[in-house]
Amino acid sequence: MMRTISDYLPAEHVDHQLFINGQFVDAADQSQFDCISPATGKRLCQVSSANEHDVDRAVKAARDAFNSGAWRDANVSHRKKILLRLAQLVESNAEKLAIIETWDTGKPIRDSRAVDMAGSVQMVRWFAESVDKLYDEIAPTDNPIVAQIRRTPLGVIAAVTPWNFPLLTALTKIIPALAVGNSVVLKPSELSPLSALYLARLGAEAGLPDGVLNVVTGSGGQAGAALGLHPDVDALLFTGSTATGKRFMQYSGASNLKKISLECGGKSANIVLDDCPDIDKAVQATANGIFFNAGQICNAGSRLILQRAIAEQFKLKLAAHLDNYKPGDPMDSATTLGSMISSGHADKVRGHIREAEQQGARIYAQARAWDGAGGFDATAWVPPTLIDQVNNSMRIAQEEVFGPVLAIMEVDTVDEALQTANDSQYGLAAAIWTSDMRTAHRAQQTLHAGFVWVNSVRAGHIATPFGGVKQSGFGRDKSLHAFDNVSYLKTTWYDYS
Ligand code: NAD
């Protein structure tokens, strides 16, 4: 018989209500939405659906907590202790959280454990450790005046997050905000709300004062928009699509000019030149760069730009990798290709493949489709697919597919490669494979992207800033630069004359 989440986790560990002012509560009008497990197509539970009144309650709780000073004015050693305790709780509950994440998103349990949970623990711990290492400044003004420049919390921070790495992205937003003393209202994606609610429980257990961390679940159009438009939210941290990111700019302008930071989509180029130092390494990294998490990654290298002399050899080797991504029960630790976030999203991805073919591109290779044996919804899986004969003006090369689909183009020169890479509305990431340091340096200068990889794809570290340019957004997550999204610099003049 088909297993359910309750075979892995007691039902009382799956929270399903809003978390406001330290309490799990129903939405004021009691409304709920279905939380579906994409791998089975079946309902996991019903979750409270917040409307603007619930959002208002959560923002008020956050404001009251901020004004009380219980968290904002606490000693840095205290804030650090509570956040380190939270890191420890995320770590000791990592298996439960990984199970929740896998059921909620369809991603393989091995990835939930090794990537989402490992990254989540590190995210909380790193920012907790930073709390007592942030120094302020004294400006070099003339005597006897002293000008002090202090990093100051903004107040109430809202975070609206997507479904591809639900807990990890939520923590990326909220932990820096909490670290400097803000209060937070988090709205996770309605497609993956459960780990954020479990996090709220852990935050309370760690000792965050009531109202400092609130979680409102619900739709983007209702709960998300209500946060974007709320007159008492000081900053909104968003990760998601560019279309929604643009709405948040409008919400800000139409309300209180709240500070906005946006991590939006990408269509990142991965350039492999004829002098690539290690073709096998590049093939492996290219495959991982687009097929990991079923391609549902903002910085996936979804456009492969090959210099002509190595193109055929590279494609052949890449095709041999496709069947390494093994579809199956996401709870089976041998599975390496999970479902997409929904069968509806999988349909969209299939539509992109069909349209590319109609426009003259060709399916160069595709992994075997899965039949969903054992009661799974096979329509939620898309097999890894290589599409070549792509022209950079085609939709498959310009739009974010957010699936395991690689658009392959061939070029003759380095200039053509760089120009093709930059010919995109997006500017999140770009990669180049070359043995020539001069070419690498020129590419680093020319590629218009938030980060550039030379001879790797998707290298990353919590100590480096993460974010894009152009329609990939602005503001930086991770690293100490993340504090710029959630604080402001206050200058105070002391006149001793
Ligand atoms: P999405 O924009 O549909 O949703 C993201 C969040 O915004 C969700 O919480 C959703 O409820 C909310 N939302 C949706 N419509 C809204 C509206 N009208 N008003 C207010 N809030 C609204 O994105 P998604 O489909 O959840 O996630 C996939 C997208 O996220 C992709 O485009 C991907 O590139 C992007 N993404 C970017 C990064 C990054 O760091 N750059 C990371 C992960 C995902």
Q: Which token pair is 59? A: 């923002």
What is the arithmetic mean of pLDDT over 305-334?
97
Q: Which CATH class is domain 5-264+473-491?
A: alpha beta
The ligand 1 atom at the shortest distance from the C-alpha of residue 219 is 11
For residues 378-394, average pLDDT: 98
Mean pLDDT of the chain: 97
Q: Is 298 in the pocket of ligand 1 (CB under 6 A)?
A: yes
Determine the distance separating the centroid of ligand 1 and the alpha carbon of 224, expressed in angstroms: 10
- The mean per-residue pLDDT over the stretch 6-13 comes to 83
Residue 1 has pLDDT above 80, yes or no: no
| 236 in contact with ligand 1, CB cutoff 6 A | no
Q: How many CA atoms are closer than 13 Å to the CA of 142, on its beta-carbon side?
A: 1
Ligand 1 center–CA 201 separation, angstroms? 24
265 Cβ closer than 6 Å to some ligand 1 atom = yes
Is there an atom of ligand 1 within 6 Å of 451 CB? no
User: CA-CA-CA-CA torsion for 419, 423, 424, 426, nearest 10 degrees?
Assistant: 40
Q: Which atom of ligand 1 is nearest to the CA of 165?
A: 43
User: Can you give the pTM of this predicted structure?
Assistant: 0.97
Query: pLDDT band at 458, cuts 50/70/90?
Result: confident
**Residue 13's pLDDT is what?**
79
Is the shortest distance between the CB of 192 and ligand 1 below 6 Å? no
| 471 CB near ligand 1 (under 6 Å) | no
How many CA atoms are closer than 13 Å to the CA of 229, on its beta-carbon side? Answer: 13
Per-residue pLDDT tens over the stretch 177-198: 999 999 999 999 999 999 999 9
Minimum CA distance residue for ligand 1 atom 35: 240
pLDDT at site 6? 84
How far apart (Å, rounded) are the C-alpha atoms in residues 403 and 97?
24
Q: How far is the CA of 249 from the centre of ligand 1 (A)?
A: 14
Return the structure tokens found at 200: 């709220």
Beta strands of 9-62 (E only): which ranges?
Answer: 18-20, 23-25, 32-37, 42-48
What does the alpha-carbon distance between residue 127 and residue 234 come to, in Å, rounded to a whole number?
21
The pLDDT value given to residue 84:
98
Which of 241, 299, 400 should be mutated for ligand 1, with most atoms under 8 A from CB?
A: 241
Cα(58)–Cα(227) distance, integer angstroms: 10
Task: Give residue 111's pLDDT band: very low, low, confident or very high (50, 70, 90).
Answer: very high
Return d(Cα 423, Cα 132) in angstroms, integer: 43
Domain ranges in the chain are: 5-264+473-491, 269-462
Which residue's CA is minimally distant from atom 11 of ligand 1? 220
Do β-strands 156-160 and 235-239 pair in parallel, antiparallel, or remain unpaired?
parallel
Instruction: Measure the N-to-C terminal CA separation of the chain; round to a whole number of Å.
Output: 82
Q: Relative to the CA of 345, which ligand 1 atom is closest?
A: 25
Q: What is the pLDDT of residue 48?
A: 98
Determine the Cα–Cα distance for residues 329 and 427; give it in Å rounded to an integer: 35
Q: Give me the CATH code for the 269-462 domain, please.
A: 3.40.309.10
pLDDT at 412 over 70: yes
Is the pLDDT at 286 greater than 80, yes or no?
yes
Give the C-alpha separation, 297 to 470, whole Å.
18
Q: Read off the DSSP letter of residue 337.
A: B
For residue 268 and ligand 1, the question of a CB distance below 6 A is answered with: no
- Which of 189, 268, 471, 474 to mutate to test ligand 1, by most ligand atoms within 8 A of the CB atom? 189
Q: Residue for token digits 């602005």?
A: 474
Asked if residues 242 and 453 have their Cβ atoms less than 8 Å apart, the reply is: no
Residue with tokens 């079946």: 42
Kind and range of the H or E run holding 492: strand 487-495
DSSP letter string, 11-26: GGGS--SEEETTEEE-
Is residue 342's pLDDT more than 80? yes
Distance of alpha carbon 420 from alpha carbon 337, whole angstroms: 30
Q: How far is CA 92 from CA 20, 120, 233, in A?
A: 24, 12, 32
Could you tell me if the CB of 247 is within 6 A of ligand 1? yes
For ligand 1, atom 32, name the residue with the nearest CA.
Answer: 241
Which of the residues are catalytic?
263, 298
Q: Do domains 5-264+473-491 and 269-462 have the same CATH topology?
A: no
Query: Is residue 99's pLDDT more than 70?
Result: yes
Strand partners, 312: none
Supply 92's token pair: 């000791």
What sign has the CA pseudo-torsion 133, 197, 296, 279? positive
CA 483, 489, 492, 493 torsion: positive or negative?
positive
